[in-house]
Amino acid sequence: MLHHPGGMKRLGALFCALYPLLGGCASDALPSTAPGSVAAAPSTSIGTVATVTWRTATATIGYVSYGTTKSVEQSAPIETVASTDHSRTLLGLAPDTTYYYRVITWDAPNVTAGASEVRSFHTTALPAGTPTLHAESFEVLDDNGKPEAPMADYVLAPYVGAEQTTVGIADPAGALIWYHVENRDRRVTRARLSGDKTSVLYSAISDAAPDDSEIVSVAVDGTGTSNISVPGLGEDFAVHPDGTLAVLMADTRTVRGSSVTGDKIVEIDAGGAQKTVFSTFDCFDPAKSPGDGSTDRWTGASALQLDSKRGVYYLALRNLSSVVQVNRESGACDWVLGDDDARTLDFADGTDGPTTPFAHPGGIQGSANRLVVLDADGGKNGARTAVYELDLDASTATETHAYDADPRVDVTEQGEATVLTGGIILTNWSNGSRIDLVNESGALKWKLEVTSGERLGYHTAFRDLYDVKLEGNQ
Amino acid sequence: MSTLRARPARLFALAALALAASVSGAARADGGYYTGVKGARAAGRAGAFTARADDVSAVGINPAGLANIGTTMIQVGNRFSYNEHEFTRNATLDWRDPESPAYVEFAKVKNKAPWQVLDPLIGISTNFGLKDWGFAFAAYSPAGVARESYPESGGQRYMMVRRNAQLIDYSLSAAWKFKDVFGVGASLVWIAVPTLDYSLIVNASPFKQQNATGVGGEYDMHASVHGHDYFTLNAILGGWFKVAPFLELGLSGQVIPSTIKTDSTIDVVPASSSGEGVTLSRNGKPANDVGLSLDLPMTARFGARYIHHRGKRELFDIEVDGVLETWSRVKTFHLDARDLIAYSGGQYVPFADIDVQKQWQTTVGVHLGGDFNVLPDRLTARGGVYYESPVAKPPYANIDFADGRQLGFALGGSVHVSKLEIAFAYEYRTQPTVRVSDANARVYQSTPASACPSPYTDPALCDPNYLGRPAAPANGGSYFAYSHVMSLDGIYRF
pLDDT digits over A218-233, tens only? 999 888 899 999 999 9
Number of inter-chain CB pairs under 8 A, A vs B: 106
Distance of alpha carbon B25 from alpha carbon A400, whole angstroms: 81
In this predicted structure, the answer to whether residue A469 has a pLDDT above a threshold of 80 is: no
Cβ separation B437–A29 shorter than 8 A: yes
Using a CB-CB cut-off of 8 Å, the residues of chain B touching A104 are 93, 101, 103
> Rg of chain B's alpha carbons, rounded to an integer?
25
The sign of the dihedral angle between the CA atoms of A15, A21, A26, A31 is: positive
Query: Pairing relation of β-strands B115-116 and B73-89?
Result: antiparallel
Contact between A406 and A373 (Cβ < 8 Å): no
The sign of the dihedral angle between the CA atoms of A227, A229, A235, A240 is: negative
Query: Which strand (E) or helix (H) includes residue B79?
Result: strand B73-89
Distance of alpha carbon A54 from alpha carbon A78, whole angstroms: 14
Which pTM does this prediction carry?
0.77
The percent of residues in chain A predicted with pLDDT above 70, rounded, is 92
Distance of alpha carbon A357 from alpha carbon A153, whole angstroms: 30
Contact between A355 and A347 (Cβ < 8 Å): yes
Burial of B21 (0-12, 13-18, 19+ CB in 10 A): exposed
Contact between A82 and A108 (Cβ < 8 Å): yes
Q: Which residue of B has its CA nearest to A18?
A: B407
Query: Pairing relation of β-strands A346-347 and A396-404?
Result: parallel
Strands (E), B245-358: 247-254, 259-270, 279-282, 285-286, 289-295, 299-310, 313-325, 332-336, 341-344, 347-350, 354-357
Burial of B428 (0-12, 13-18, 19+ CB in 10 A): middle
B179 CA: distance to closest CA in chain A (Å): 40
In this predicted structure, the answer to whether residue A337 has a pLDDT above a threshold of 90 is: yes
The percent of residues in chain A predicted with pLDDT above 90, rounded, is 76
Q: Among B86, B101, B434, select the one facing A78 at the smallest CB separation.
A: B101
| Nearest of B236, B258, B132, B139 to residue B186 by alpha carbon | B236
Q: Among A65, A108, A111, select the one facing B103 at the smallest CB separation.
A: A65
**Does residue B110 belong to the interface with chain A, where contact is any CB pair within 8 Å?**
no
Cβ separation A1–B431 shorter than 8 A: no
The sign of the dihedral angle between the CA atoms of A308, A286, A322, A415 is: positive
CA angle B50, B53, B55 (to 5 degrees): 155
A145-203 pLDDT, tens digit per residue, is 999 999 999 999 999 999 999 999 999 999 999 999 999 999 999 999 999 989 999 99
**Does residue B408 belong to the interface with chain A, where contact is any CB pair within 8 Å?**
no
B196 CA: distance to closest CA in chain A (Å): 29
Size of chain A, expressed as the number of residues it contains: 474
First-to-final CA distance of chain B: 10
A78 CA: distance to closest CA in chain B (Å): 5
A179 CA: distance to closest CA in chain B (Å): 25
Query: Which strand (E) or helix (H) includes residue B476?
Result: none
Distance of alpha carbon B240 from alpha carbon B50, whole angstroms: 9
**Does residue B154 belong to the interface with chain A, where contact is any CB pair within 8 Å?**
no
Contact between B456 and B51 (Cβ < 8 Å): no
Distance of alpha carbon B445 from alpha carbon A320, whole angstroms: 67
Distance of alpha carbon B72 from alpha carbon B176, whole angstroms: 15
| Nearest of A368, A354, A414, A362 to residue A385 by alpha carbon | A362
A397-427 pLDDT, tens digit per residue, is 999 989 998 888 888 888 999 999 888 999 9
**Does residue A128 belong to the interface with chain B, where contact is any CB pair within 8 Å?**
no
Cβ separation A28–B405 shorter than 8 A: no
A452-468 pLDDT, tens digit per residue, is 999 999 999 998 888 77
- pLDDT given for residue B450 in this prediction: 81
Q: Which residue of A has its CA nearest to B393?
A: A26
Query: Pairing relation of β-strands A258-268 and A245-255?
Result: antiparallel
**Does residue A27 belong to the interface with chain B, where contact is any CB pair within 8 Å?**
yes
Cβ separation A2–B428 shorter than 8 A: yes
Cβ separation A26–B432 shorter than 8 A: yes
Using a CB-CB cut-off of 8 Å, the residues of chain A touching B114 are none
Q: What is the DSSP letter of B34?
A: B
The sign of the dihedral angle between the CA atoms of A312, A316, A317, A322 is: positive
Q: Helix or strand or coil: residue B205? A: coil
Distance of alpha carbon A459 from alpha carbon A474, whole angstroms: 10
Distance of alpha carbon B357 from alpha carbon B330, whole angstroms: 9
A234-288 pLDDT, tens digit per residue, is 999 999 999 999 999 999 999 989 999 999 999 999 888 999 999 999 999 999 9
Cβ separation A111–B465 shorter than 8 A: yes
Report for A10-19, A122-131, B329-338: range of highest mean pLDDT: A122-131
Q: Which residue of B has its CA nearest to A62?
A: B100
| Nearest of B97, B59, B110, B79 to residue B489 by alpha carbon | B79
A128-140 pLDDT, tens digit per residue, is 999 999 999 999 9
Cβ separation B432–A112 shorter than 8 A: no
User: How many Cβ atoms from other residues are within 10 Å of residue A142's Cβ?
Assistant: 11
Report the half-sphere exposure of A248 (CA within 13 A, side-chain side): 27
Sheet bearing A225-229, strands edge to edge: A191-193, A199-204, A214-219, A225-229
**Does residue B482 belong to the interface with chain A, where contact is any CB pair within 8 Å?**
yes
Using a CB-CB cut-off of 8 Å, the residues of chain A touching B426 are 1
Query: Which residues in chain B come in under a pLDDT of 70?
Result: 1-32, 208-213, 274-275
In this predicted structure, the answer to whether residue A428 has a pLDDT above a threshold of 50 is: yes
